[in-house]
Structures are given as structure tokens and as C-alpha cells.
């Protein structure tokens, strides 16, 4: 056999030491997809945060005429009982994003924890967790969501908890498979050989490599939760008094907005959900590309 | 008397990467003689597999053959492989030159029965006659029973899969068989069997075999001629007997001494093999082995594209052929 | 290749999931604070009619506070096909309501899934083989956008367009013209088909891009497979390489995706039914939810969940039958 001599090891070390969150973000923003996704998400978040301050009217003010098309006084017209649609939109953006973010926080925490644990400690724990995931993934989500929402008190908190608790299985599977691949990589064996504890390897060696994946999934879950919440609201479930994109669409549907040609009421929330979905996809695939490129260069 | 069946001239194959083009084959010229077993020996990255893929034009993006010529001398006419149109190339492949791949495990279509994988090859080349009989014949030559026909790849062991690959490679009666590390993925016992089958078949069917390997001892056990590859070029080409008896290029010498460790000073040879092959993204002035060569000197770096020195029928790319071996003999 | 082990695993998953669904369906109404009967009656009638209390209590098996006894009753009733009585469609039983609504949903779902998987796989095969070209990049981006749009919003937009701008071309609500009586005659069948065009089109439009993208990705990965290199080396024509080597191997993971997406498409069908007032099970669920018809909600949950689980199970078996490698994994 010939001696296999490769320049691999030294190169890996050289490029790895320059990482930092700031330089990582700056590099990723060089990716066009990631950049545009990031900007759109940032724009919506900004609207969501400043929404209550730029809203021209009280969202529950019904003193305007019904079914007004867009004018300078009502940028998005009015609805069936004279709410200002623009006010509902900017405030609703905040609520929808908040629900999405809260769900994502729960799911990401549960999913990452389960994925890490089951990927790193194979055996019994892994078996039990993954069989649970298998079973939960077979269960169709929507009817389950509906029946839970029917019996539990109709508040946004309920919706957040239901969605958060139901969507972790898929994420845990994604994380687990990534942990399994990482475990085979030389730097993990090296850490093990140098006597690091399991916990330390998990958090200081494996976890940082999972971050891009976790961020991508977290963003997808925000969008998924916004759609799911809107879907539930559209079905008349959850807190219908809450001002958000879903309830806007519910009231539009149930008050026959179509017959009144009230496109100004129907289009903004739905289009926003679609745009945010596209932005999340751009964000995710851009980040994926960037991470792929970087590890390609390292190699 | 030997006639060339394949002539490769000034072949350049590159792989485009984000950080620059990797010159996998650098102005490579080589002839393969009819009926011989030519073993191409080199470490990974030396371009030996790239050569196999280049001959059949299987190099794909990001790889590209940028210049050179490969001529297949059939009894009727010369075929310039690199000039074939895609439909011509499709017809040319497998009936003239076929290949056994390194990854025995994954080259068979996982969802088709073995016989189907023969039949679609026959159909692609408008071969006539009784397909079943033909399949049986080549399975038998490769040392397999008829029952294999009806099986799926995952039902076969690694060794059996590689035998199926051999049968497939022979089934269109090619003149040249390229075997790209055909035994690397297999365990040692199976390796021996596969090697001896290939040798037996070669004689039976009067094949020309291009045997690509990183293992000099395997190569020396079967080859008529050797081509020692280093950094995308053959640095020493010639009859296996002569090269093994008296290697001329320092790289060959060191390679040989690391394999036949009993009669040389192993420590010395391994120590001198330090360093790594040159970066193929850069232009290499002079001898590509200079950096690792124990007898390298100033003059080696000024050479550009060695005129291969002739030493009997052995071609060597070195300005001091045989010098290193001589020194090692003396020191012993 | 279907082995006994595979069959046992799949069956146990299906049974376990069904059992969880049953337990949820049993416990949830009983975990709601207060006596479920009172809760139900109060939301329905705003007072407590004594005769109704007796009736409902016996139905829930509530005279005996032992949960296990109640569960036993619940299972027995279930096996007799008794899911209780719907409030909204009174005096119809829940089983009846589901039986009249389910066929419409199956019709929508079946047609839409068939069309979208066929269209999705064909387009995905094509763009996957030509990946990296400008056209492919544009189509993939467009599809990614389409998958992000909620079902119900697309449905609403279609309704808006066809109600106001392209009027009278296609009906925008119902499953058949109200002037017709359901029967197997040409006029009725044509009416049904015309009414199904928009709902099915909506479902297809939002579900096929996902299938296409999955097919595209598996096709792209096929390019790295060694058996494709061998096929090229063997001189197999490109058309046949795409068909017999790449696409055949790529379509199997896509089949899994289609099965996994089935639950998602079911949810989509529900929304589409609500928007187009299509009298399927989704519409019935919407009615049940908005009119607090608890027995109907429970019944629909159970039936839909079990249907999806069983569909999944059969798809798994079919998949193993189609892919000779499955037993190895």
C-alpha cells in the first residue's frame, strides 16, 4: 500500500478559526437568496413591531361606513362593519408574527433537544424517542389540531401551545440525522479521544455545527405556524376576537366579502402569508447554499 | 510483436473547482498494446481513474477533457474517440471498450433484475441472437450460475456483484476492458478470486486489459507492462519485469521498496517518501516529483515537460534514471 | 420485498396511532372542565332540558363515573358504528352525516391527488434532468413560491376571480346545480364535473409543486449514482437512462413524500370545501365547529384520522412491494 498523504488536516484547522457570528452573517448576506429572504423577513418584523404605533385608528372602531374601497383615509378600505382594514393589517402582522415566533420557540426547543439527545445517545433513549416520532408523524395533524382547538379554551396561548407541541417530531428527526452524520466526523472522534465529556462534546462541538440547520428550521416553523394559525382561524377556531391575518380572512369569508368585491380585505393578509413563505424558502435555501459552500472551501 | 490498440496523445483533463482548475491529467501520452495487460499504478489523485473515465468519455461536469486525442485502432479503421458525436459515442461504448468500476456495490441498477441489465445493453447496441443464452454464457465465464439472472442486486454479495459487473463488461465482446480498481471494495479472499477470473477471461477472450490500481503488488502479479502515474502523468512506463527488477524513476524505486520491504531498508525508504504530491492547481515547472525526491537537484526544476528518456523499452521521466536505485544498492 | 418484520412494524405503528386517536377522542370531551353533558347542552340550548340530560348521559355512559367502564361503552358503541347524534343535522346520526359527506371528499381528494402526483412527477423528472439551466432555476423558484401559499387563500382568490371577473364560466359553490336532483344521469354528472373543476384545480395547483420539487431533488441526486455512470458507459440511450434508471429510482422516494403529504392534502381539501361550500366532510367539520356540534366534530376527527392512518399503512405496504430494497433499511 502507498502511504496516503493528504493536505486535508491542516487546511481544516486554518479556515475554522476565523468563524464568528458577525462574519458568518456578513458572509451569508453575500448570498442573493439569503439576502432577499432576510430583508423581506426583516421588513415584516419591523411592521409587526411598529404596527400598533403606526395604526391610524383603533382596530375596534366601527364608526366608518362598511365596504369602503381603498382611499387616502383608509389605505386598505373598510370591512363589513366599518373596521379600518389597514389598521387591522399592521396590528395583525404583529400578532401573526408573534404567534409564529412563539410556536417556533417551543418547537425548536423540543425538536432540538429530542434530536440531539436521540442522535447522540443511541440505544434505548433513541429508540423510544424515534418510535414516538414515527407514531406522531403518522397521525394527521389537521384533524388533531381542530379537535384540540374545539375543546380547549379559545385563546392565542392555547393555539401557540397546541401548534408548538405538535410540530416538534419532524424537526427532531432532521436534527437527529444531522447529529448522526456529525458524530462520524473526525473532529468529534478527536474530541472523544482527548477525553471530553459527552455533554461538552454535545454542546461545544456538535451544537455549533447544527446552528444553521436549527435557524433554517426555526424560520420554516414560524411560517408554518402562521399558516396553521390562519387556517385554524379560517375554520372559526382559536381566538376570533384577536386581530391577526387569520381572523381577517375568517371574517372576510364568513361575511361574504367576495360578493361585495372586497378584494382589498382579502388580498393583503393572504398575500403577506405567501410572501413570507417565499421569503422563508429563500432564506433557508440561501443559508443552505452558503453553509455548503463554506464547508466546501474548508475541504 | 506488439501493435498499439489504443493511442493517447497529449491528453489534458481538468476539474473546474471554485478555487481554480485542477489539472488531473497533464499532457498525457500513452500507448496500449493489443492483447496485453497494462497496469496503471499510482496513489489517489495521481489521475489514474481519471484516465479510465477519459478513455470512455465519462468525465462529467465539473470535469472536462480540454485537449488531446485518444485513438482506438480497430482492425477496420482508427476511431478518434474525442471526435465522436454523442450518438456515435453511445454506439462505440461497451462494444469496443468496456469498464469494470471500483464501486461494485452501487453500479447495478437497484430496482432491475440482473437479466434486465444485460438485455437493455444488448438492445442499446442492436445485438442479435438468443439473449438468454448469451447472458448464461457470460455469467458462467464470470463464474456465476444461471439463477443469478432473476435476482436483484441487493440479493447478491459484493463479490457476486463484481462478477456480474465482469459478465456485463464482457457481454458485448469488447476489445479493451478497463478495470478500475475492481477489487478495492472487496475482501481479500474474494479479491484473489476476482483477479484470477479476470486473468483467465483475458486469455480466453483475447482481451486487452487496462488495469487501474493503487496496489503495486497486485499490479506486478498480473501486468505485462506497467505505467507508474504521478501527478497526472506516467513517470515510468515499460515492461513489468524490467521495471520491477530495476526501477529507473526515483518514485518507482521508493514505491517498490515500500512494498518489497524485506530486502531493502524499509525505514530509509519510508522516511524519504515524506511530503505530499504537488498542487495540481498550479503550473508545475520541471519534475513534479522534485519536492519529495531524495536525489533531486537544481536542474530538475528547470525542465519543462520532460522528453521521456528511453531506456530499452522503458520510458522514464527523469534526468537521472536509475540513480536512486543504484545508491540504495550501494548503501545496503 | 415484504418481510414479516416489516409487516409487523408497520401494523403496530398503525394500531398504536389509531389507539392514540381513540384515546384522545374519548378523553378530550371528558377532560373539559365540568360535566360534558352540561357543557354541551348549555352551549346548545343555554338551559338544561332534563330529558336531554338523561339521554346524553346514557350515551356518554356517564351514570357510571368509572372511566374504564365508560371507555368500554365507548368502544362497544364505536364497533356498532354508533358515533352519537348530530346537533346541527338533528335527527341524523353522526355516522349518517359522515356517510353522506365522505364520498364528495374522497372524489375531490382522489382526483386531485392522482392529477397532482402525475403532473408533479412528470414535471419534476424533466426539471431534475435539466437542473442547473436557467429555465429550471426559474421553474423551481416559482414552485417554491406556490408551495408557500395557503390552500384556502388560493381558493378564495379563485372564487373572487370567477365570481366577479370571469362570471358564469365555472360555478363557484356547491357540488352540483341546485336545480338538479342527484341521480345517475348525464345532466347531473356533467354538473358535478363542472362544479368540481375549481376545487380540484386549487388542490392540484397547491400540491403538485411540492411533489415536483421532491422529484427534482431525487433526480438530481441520481446523477451522482454509480449505476447511472455504468448505464452511460454501457451506451444506453439517454432517453432510456432517464426513464429506466434515473426516474424509476427517483420516483420511489417521491411516493413516500406523496403519502406523507396525504394528510396535508386532506387538510387542503377541507379548506377548499369550506370556501367553495362543497358538501364534503371538511365542510361538515366546518359546520360542526362553528355550530359547536361536538359529537360531529368527534366523529369526523375519528373517521378522518383512521382513514389517513389506514391509507398510510397501505401505501407503506405498496411501497415495499414496489421497491425491492426496502427490507434492507
Strand partners, B180: B212
User: Are B18 and A5 in contact (CB < 8 Å)?
Assistant: no
Domain boundaries of chain C, sorted by first residue: 24-79, 102-322
Q: Which of helix, strand or coil describes residue C85? A: strand
pLDDT tens-digit series, residues C269-293: 999 999 999 999 999 999 998 887 8
Residue range B65-93: mean pLDDT, rounded? 93
Q: Are strands B208-213 and B37-41 parallel, antiparallel or unpaired?
A: parallel
At residue B272, the pLDDT reads 53
How far is it, in rounded angstroms, from Cα C44 to Cα C291?
A: 8
- The secondary element (H helix, E strand) that includes residue A74 is none
The residue of chain A with its CA nearest to that of B217 is: A1
Asked if A146 and C32 come within 8 Å (Cβ–Cβ), the reply is no
Question: Which of C45, C90, C158, C100 is closest to C284 using CA atoms?
Answer: C100
Whole-number Å distance between alpha carbons of C184 and A277: 43
Give the three cell numbers for residue B290: 522534485
> Which residues of C are less than 8 Å from B103 in CB distance?
226
Q: State whether A297 and B19 contact (CB < 8 Å).
A: yes
Chains that touch A (3 or more CB pairs under 8 A): B, C
The pLDDT, as a whole number, for residue C160 is 85
Domain boundaries in chain B? 4-223, 248-330
Evaluate whether B24 touches B15 at the Cβ level (below 8 Å).
yes
Name which of C227, C252, C328 is nearest B106 (Cβ-Cβ). Answer: C227
Q: What is the pLDDT of residues B191-202, one digit of tens each?
A: 888 888 888 888
Q: What's the mean pLDDT in B97-116?
A: 90
* C-alpha dihedral, A172 to A178 to A180 to A183, nearest 10°: -130
Q: Give residues with Cβ within 8 angstroms of A107, minimum separation 6.
A: A163, A164, A167, A168, A171, A218, A221, A225
In whole angstroms, how far apart are CA A277 and each of A25, A104, A288, B166, B183?
21, 14, 16, 51, 50
Q: Which residue has the higher pLDDT, C48 or B79?
A: B79
Bridge partners of B70, per DSSP, are B8
* pLDDT for the residue B142: 87
Residues B6-54: pLDDT tens digits? 999 999 999 988 788 899 999 899 999 999 999 999 988 889 999 999 9
Q: Which residues pair with B179 in a beta bridge?
A: B100, B211
To the nearest whole Å, the CA of B285 is away from the closest chain A CA by 21
Bridging pattern class, strands B309-311 and B78-80? unpaired
Residue A86 to residues A91, A276, B146, Cα–Cα distance (Å): 9, 18, 76
The percentage of residues in chain B with a pLDDT greater than 90, rounded to a whole number, is 46
In whole angstroms, what is the distance from residue B279 CA to residue C275 CA? Answer: 64
What is the spatial distance between Cα C268 and Cα C256, in angstroms, rounded to a whole number? Answer: 19
Which one of B94, B108, B112 has the shortest CB-CB distance to C233?
B94
From A4, A7, A297, residue closest to B43, measured CB to CB: A4
Closest-CA residue of chain C to B91: C235
What is the interface size between A and C, counted as CB pairs within 8 Å?
133
Q: Which of B110, B155, B171 to mutate to test the interface with C (most CBs of C within 10 A)?
A: B110
Exposure of C229 in the CB half-sphere (CA atoms within 13 A): 22
For residue A26, the model assigns a pLDDT of: 79
Angle at B95 between CA B93 and CA B100, to 5 degrees: 70
Give me the pLDDT at residue C240, please. 92
CA distance A293 to chain B (A): 9
What span, in angstroms and rounded, lies between the C-alpha atoms of C25 and C301? 8
Find the angle CA(B251)-CA(B283)-CA(B29) to the nearest 5 degrees.
60
Q: How many residues does chain B have?
A: 332
At A10-58, the pLDDT tens digits run 333 333 434 566 777 777 888 888 999 999 999 999 999 998 888 888 8
- Cβ-in-10-Å burial (0-12, 13-18, 19+) of C188 comes to middle
pLDDT greater than 70 at residue B209? yes
pLDDT at residue B77 in the model: 87
Provide the b/e sequence for A202-233 (b: ≥16 CB within 10 Å): beebbeebbebbbebbbbbbbbbbbbbbbbbb
Using a CB-CB cut-off of 8 Å, the residues of chain C touching A234 are 152, 271, 274
pLDDT score, position A299: 33
**Does a structural domain hold residue A153?**
yes
Using CA atoms, how far residue C152 sits from A135, C261, C265, in Å, is: 28, 17, 12
Distance from CA of C231 to the nearest CA of A (A): 29
The confidence score (pLDDT) of residue A14 equals 34
Report the relative pairing of strands B37-41 and B225-230 from DSSP bridges.
parallel
pLDDT tens track for C59-111: 665 666 677 887 888 888 888 888 888 878 877 889 999 999 999 999 999 99
Q: Tell whether the model's pLDDT for residue B266 goes beyond 50.
A: no
Q: How many domains does chain A have?
A: 1
C32 contacts in A (CB within 8 Å)?
151
Cβ of B18 and A297 within 8 Å?
yes
pLDDT at A164: 92
Percent of chain C at pLDDT above 90? Answer: 30
Please indicate whether, in this complex, the C-beta atoms of A3 and B270 are within 8 angstroms of each other: yes
- Please name the residues in contact with B283: beta carbons below 8 A apart, sequence gap of 6 or more: none
Residues of C in contact with B107 (CB under 8 A): 226-227, 229-230
State the pLDDT at residue B276: 78
Select the residue of A147, A259, A267 nearest C28 (Cβ to Cβ): A147
Instruction: Provide the 8-state DSSP code for C279.
Output: -
What's the rounded mean pLDDT across residues A165-183? Answer: 88
Is the pLDDT confidence value at B274 over 50? yes
Question: For residue A75, what are the domain limits?
Answer: 44-298
Angle between helices C67-79 and C4-31 (to 10 degrees): 120
CATH class name, domain B4-223: alpha beta
Q: What was the pLDDT predicted at B237?
A: 93
Strand arrangement, sheet containing B63-73 = B20-33, B4-17, B63-73, B78-80
Cα C234 to Cα B164: distance, rounded to the nearest angstrom: 14
What does the alpha-carbon distance between residue C141 and residue C147 come to, in Å, rounded to a whole number? 10
Strand (E) or helix (H) holding A66: none
The distance in angstroms from the start CA to the end CA of chain A is 24
Closest Cα of chain C to B117: distance in Å?
Answer: 9
Q: Give A-chain residues touching C312 at CB under 8 angstroms.
A: 138
Residue B269, pLDDT above cutoff 70: no
Task: Spell out which residues of chain A touch residue B216, defining contact as CB-CB under 8 Å.
Answer: 2
CA angle C104, C109, C114 (to 5 degrees): 135
Between chains, do B110 and C232 touch, taking CB under 8 Å as contact? Answer: no
Report the mean per-residue pLDDT for chain A. 83
**Proportion of chain C above pLDDT 70, given as a percent:** 89
Q: How many CB atoms lie within 10 A of CB B94?
A: 25
Q: In the CATH scheme, what is the homologous superfamily, with its name and number, of domain C102-322? A: MetI-like (1.10.3720.10)
Cβ atoms of residues C255 and C121 within 8 Å: no
Task: Determine the Cα–Cα distance for residues A198 and A210; give it in Å rounded to an integer.
Answer: 16
Residue C317 has a CB neighbour count (10 Å cut-off) of 15
C26 CB neighbours in chain A (<8 A) are: none
What is residue B10's predicted lDDT score, i.e. its pLDDT?
A: 93
B286-297 pLDDT, tens per residue?
888 888 888 888
Structure confidence at residue C36 (pLDDT): 58
Q: Please, which residues 220-249 of chain C have a Cβ atom closer than 8 Å to chain B?
A: 225-227, 229-238, 240, 244-245, 248-249
Dihedral (CA of A131, A134, A136, A138) sign: negative
Q: Which residue has the higher pLDDT, C261 or B56?
A: B56
Give me the CATH number covering residue A255. 1.10.3720.10
pLDDT per residue as tens digits for the range A204-216: 888 888 888 899 9
| Cβ pair A216, A104 in contact under 8 A | no
CA distance C27 to C68: 11
Beta carbons of A270 and C150 less than 8 Å apart: yes
Q: Is A259 exposed, middle or buried (0-12, 13-18, 19+ CB in 10 A)?
A: exposed
Would the CB atoms of B106 and C325 count as touching at under 8 Å? no
Least confident of A221-230, B238-247, B314-323, C229-238: B314-323
> In whole angstroms, what is the distance from residue C126 CA to residue C247 CA?
9
The residue written with cell numbers 363515573 in the block is C65
**CB contact at 8 A, C232 and A111:** no
What residues of chain B lie within 8 A of the CB of A5, using their CB? 43, 274-277
Can you tell me the ipTM of this complex? Answer: 0.85
Supply angle C-alpha A156, A159, A163, rounded to 5.
Answer: 145
Span C176-230, pLDDT tens digits: 887 887 888 888 889 999 999 999 999 999 899 999 999 998 898 887 888 999 9
Among chain B, residues having any CB pair with chain C shorter than 8 Å are: 56, 58, 90-95, 98-99, 101, 103, 106-112, 120-121, 124-125, 152, 154, 165, 168
Cβ distance of C235 and B93 shorter than 8 Å: yes
| Reduced 3-state DSSP string for chain B | CCCEEEEEEEEEEEEEECCEEEEEEEEEEEEEECCCEEEEECCCCCCHHHHHHHHCCCCCCCEEEEEEEEEEECCCCEEEHHHCCHHHHHHHECCCEEEECCCCCCCCCCCCCHHHHHHHHHHHCCCCCCHHHHHHHHHHHCCCCHHHHHCCHHHCCHHHHHHHHHHHHHCCCCCEEEEECCCCCCCHHHHHHHHHHHHHHHHHHCCEEEEEECCHHHHHHHCCEEEEEECCEEEEEEEHHHHHHCCCCHHHHHHHHHHCCCCCCHHHHHHHCCCCCCCCCCCCCCCCCHHHCCCCCHHHHHCCCCCCEEECCEEECCCCCCHHHHHHHHHC
Q: How far is it, in rounded angstroms, from Cα C154 to Cα C140?
A: 19
Beta bridge mates, B225: B38, B239
C301-310: pLDDT as tens digits: 999 999 889 8
Burial of B237 (0-12, 13-18, 19+ CB in 10 A): buried
Distance from C-alpha of C3 to C-alpha of A41, rounded to nearest angstrom: 48
CA-nearest residue to C311 within chain A is A138
Residue B170 in this model has a pLDDT that exceeds 60: yes
Amino acid at each position: 500500500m502507498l502511504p496516503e498523504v493528504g493536505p486535508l488536516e491542516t487546511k481544516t484547522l486554518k479556515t475554522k478559526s476565523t468563524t464568528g457570528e458577525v462574519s458568518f452573517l456578513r458572509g451569508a448576506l453575500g448570498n442573493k437568496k439569503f439576502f432577499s429572504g432576510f430583508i423581506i423577513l426583516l421588513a415584516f418584523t419591523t411592521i409587526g413591531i411598529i404596527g400598533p404605533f403606526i395604526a391610524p385608528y383603533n382596530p375596534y372602531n366601527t364608526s366608518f361606513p362598511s365596504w369602503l374601497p381603498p382611499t387616502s383615509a383608509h389605505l386598505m378600505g373598510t370591512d363589513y362593519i366599518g373596521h379600518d382594514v389597514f389598521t387591522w393589517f399592521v396590528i395583525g402582522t404583529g400578532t401573526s408574527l408573534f404567534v409564529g415566533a412563539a410556536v417556533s420557540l417551543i418547537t425548536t426547543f423540543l425538536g432540538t433537544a429530542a434530536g440531539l439527545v436521540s442522535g447522540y445517545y443511541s440505544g434505548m433513549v433513541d429508540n423510544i424517542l424515534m418510535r414516538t416520532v414515527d407514531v406522531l408523524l403518522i397521525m394527521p395533524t389537521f384533524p388533531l389540531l381542530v379537535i384540540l382547538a374545539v375543546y380547549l379554551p379559545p385563546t392565542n396561548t392555547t393555539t401557540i401551545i397546541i401548534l408548538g407541541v405538535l410540530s416538534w417530531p419532524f424537526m427532531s428527526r432532521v436534527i437527529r440525522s444531522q447529529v448522526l452524520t456529525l458524530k462520524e466526523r473526525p473532529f468529534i472522534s478527536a474530541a472523544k479521544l482527548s477525553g471530553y465529556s459527552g455533554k461538552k462534546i454535545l454542546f461545544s462541538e456538535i451544537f455549533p455545527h447544527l446552528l444553521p440547520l436549527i435557524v433554517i428550521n426555526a424560520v420554516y416553523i414560524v411560517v408554518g405556524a402562521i399558516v396553521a394559525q390562519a387556517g385554524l382561524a379560517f375554520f372559526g377556531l382559536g381566538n376570533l376576537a384577536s386581530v391577526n391575518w387569520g381572523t381577517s380572512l375568517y371574517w372576510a369569508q364568513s361575511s361574504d366579502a367576495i360578493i361585495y368585491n372586497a378584494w382589498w380585505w382579502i388580498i393583503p393578509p393572504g398575500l403577506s402569508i405567501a410572501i413570507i413563505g417565499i421569503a422563508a424558502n429563500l432564506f433557508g435555501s440561501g443559508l443552505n447554499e452558503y453553509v455548503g459552500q463554506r464547508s466546501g472551501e474548508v475541504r | 510483436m506488439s501493435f498499439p490498440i489504443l493511442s493517447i496523445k497529449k491528453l489534458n483533463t481538468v476539474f473546474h473547482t471554485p478555487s481554480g482548475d485542477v489539472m488531473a491529467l497533464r499532457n498525457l501520452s500513452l500507448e496500449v498494446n493489443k492483447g496485453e495487460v497494462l497496469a496503471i499504478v499510482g496513489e489517489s489523485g495521481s489521475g489514474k481513474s481519471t484516465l479510465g473515465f477519459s478513455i470512455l468519455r465519462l468525465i462529467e461536469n465539473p470535469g472536462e477533457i480540454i485537449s488531446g486525442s485518444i485513438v482506438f485502432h480497430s482492425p477496420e479503421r482508427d476511431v478518434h474517440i474525442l471526435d465522436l458525436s454523442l450518438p456515435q459515442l453511445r454506439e462505440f461504448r461497451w462494444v469496443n471498450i468496456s469498464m469494470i468500476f471500483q464501486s461494485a456495490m452501487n453500479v447495478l441498477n437497484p430496482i432491475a433484475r440482473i437479466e434486465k441489465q444485460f438485455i437493455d445493453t444488448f438492445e442499446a447496441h442492436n445485438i442479435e441472437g438468443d439473449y438468454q443464452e448469451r447472458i448464461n454464457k457470460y455469467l458462467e465465464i464470470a463464474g456465476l450460475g444461471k439463477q443469478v439472472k432473476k435476482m436483484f442486486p441487493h440479493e447478491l454479495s459484493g463479490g457476486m456483484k463484481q462478477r456480474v459487473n465482469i459478465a456485463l463488461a464482457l457481454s458485448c465482446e469488447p476489445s479493451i476492458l478497463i478495470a478500475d480498481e475492481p477489487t478495492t471494495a472487496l475482501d481479500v479472499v474474494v479479491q484473489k478470486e476476482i483477479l484470477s477470473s479476470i486473468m483467465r477471461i483475458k486469455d480466453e477472450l483475447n482481451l486487452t486489459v487496462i488495469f487501474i490500481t493503487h496496489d503495486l503488488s497486485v499490479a506486478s502479479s498480473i501486468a505485462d507492462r506497467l505505467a507508474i502515474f504521478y501527478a497526472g502523468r506516467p513517470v515510468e512506463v515499460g515492461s513489468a519485469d524490467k521495471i520491477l527488477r530495476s526501477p529507473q524513476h526515483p518514485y518507482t524505486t521508493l514505491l517498490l521498496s515500500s512494498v518489497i520491504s524485506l530486502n531493502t531498508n524499509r525505514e530509509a525508504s519510508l522516511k524519504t517518501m515524506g511530503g505530499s504530491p504537488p498542487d495540481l492547481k498550479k503550473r508545475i515547472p520541471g519534475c513534479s516529483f522534485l519536492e519529495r525526491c531524495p536525489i533531486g537537484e537544481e536542474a530538475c526544476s528547470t525542465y519543462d515537460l520532460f522528453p521521456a528518456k528511453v531506456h530499452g523499452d522503458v520510458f522514464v521521466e527523469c534526468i537521472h534514471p536509475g540513480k536512486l536505485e543504484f545508491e540504495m544498492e550501494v548503501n545496503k | 420485498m415484504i418481510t414479516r418484520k416489516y409487516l409487523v412494524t408497520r401494523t403496530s405503528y398503525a394500531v398504536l396511532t389509531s389507539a392514540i386517536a381513540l384515546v384522545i377522542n374519548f378523553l378530550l370531551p371528558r377532560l373539559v372542565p365540568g360535566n360534558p353533558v352540561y357543557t354541551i347542552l348549555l352551549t346548545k340550548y343555554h338551559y338544561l332540558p332534563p330529558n336531554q340530560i338523561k339521554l346524553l348521559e346514557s350515551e356518554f355512559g356517564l351514570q357510571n363515573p368509572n372511566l374504564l367502564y365508560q371507555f368500554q361503552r365507548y368502544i362497544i358503541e364505536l364497533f356498532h358504528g354508533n358515533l352519537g347524534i348530530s346537533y346541527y343535522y338533528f335527527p341524523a346520526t353522526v355516522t349518517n352525516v359522515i356517510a353522506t359527506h365522505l364520498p364528495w371528499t374522497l372524489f375531490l381528494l382522489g382526483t386531485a391527488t392522482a392529477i397532482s402526483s402525475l403532473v408533479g412527477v412528470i414535471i419534476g423528472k424533466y426539471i431534475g434532468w435539466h437542473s442547473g439551466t436557467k429555465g429550471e432555476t426559474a421553474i423551481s423558484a416559482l414552485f417554491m413560491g406556490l408551495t408557500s401559499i395557503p390552500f384556502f387563500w388560493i381558493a378564495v382568490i379563485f372564487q373572487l376571480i370567477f365570481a366577479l371577473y370571469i362570471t358564469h364560466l365555472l360555478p363557484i359553490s356547491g357540488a352540483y346545480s341546485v336545480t338538479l336532483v342527484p341521480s345517475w344521469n348525464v345532466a347531473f354528472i356533467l354538473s358535478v364535473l363542472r362544479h368540481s373543476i375549481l376545487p380540484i384545480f386549487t388542490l392540484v395547483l397547491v400540491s403538485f409543486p411540492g411533489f415536483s420539487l421532491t422529484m427534482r431533488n431525487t433526480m438530481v441526486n441520481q446523477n451522482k449514482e454509480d449505476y447511472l455512470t455504468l448505464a452511460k458507459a454501457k451506451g444506453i440511450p439517454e432517453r432510456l437512462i432517464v426513464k429506466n434508471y434515473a426516474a424509476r429510482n427517483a420516483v420511489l422516494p417521491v411516493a413516500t413524500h406523496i403519502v406523507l403529504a396525504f394528510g396535508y392534502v386532506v387538510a387542503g381539501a377541507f379548506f377548499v370545501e369550506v370556501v367553495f361550500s362543497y358538501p364534503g366532510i371538511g365542510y361538515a367539520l366546518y359546520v360542526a365547529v362553528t355550530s359547536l356540534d361536538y359529537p360531529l366534530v368527534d366523529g369526523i376527527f375519528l373517521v378522518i384520522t383512521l382513514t389517513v392512518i389506514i391509507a398510510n399503512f397501505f401505501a407503506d405496504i405498496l411501497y415495499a412491494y414496489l421497491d425491492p430494497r426496502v427490507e434492507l433499511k
